[in-house]
Amino acid sequence: MNVSGEKFDEAFDKAKPLTDSQRPLYGYFWTDDSKYILYVKDKDGDENINIFAVDPMASANAETGVPESRNLTPFEGSYRTDLRCKSFESGYYDDLSQ
């Protein structure tokens, strides 16, 4: 499963890919300000589960065909089962696991 998106007034067939994972994602959510999509995945089944942010309005990378994602938990041995993330702008924590 990968994440794709289109503008509100565009047809579904205009959706552009936002992720290019070879393995299923554990889930994805919009941030409370609707600027980013957060998604959860591991790398090739290693079960180091990380949270990534992608800007759906960003241009696609020429090599991958999707916008660059930012790893918010770039630590070996990471294992996140919920999404409790600090808001990028307001500084408060938003529980996205509910």
Tens-digit pLDDT string for the chain (98 aa): 899 888 889 898 889 999 999 888 988 999 989 999 999 988 878 888 888 999 999 999 999 999 999 998 887 776 655 555 554 444 444 444 43
Q: Are strands 16-17 and 4-5 parallel, antiparallel or unpaired?
A: antiparallel
Residues 27 and 40 sit within 8 Å (Cβ to Cβ): yes
Q: Which residue has the tokens 């290019």?
A: 20
User: For the whole model, what pTM was predicted?
Assistant: 0.74
Letter for the amino acid at 48?
N
Domain count, the chain: 1
Count, residues in the chain: 98
The rounded distance, in Å, linking the Cα atoms of 88 and 98 is: 19
Domain range for 75 is 1-98
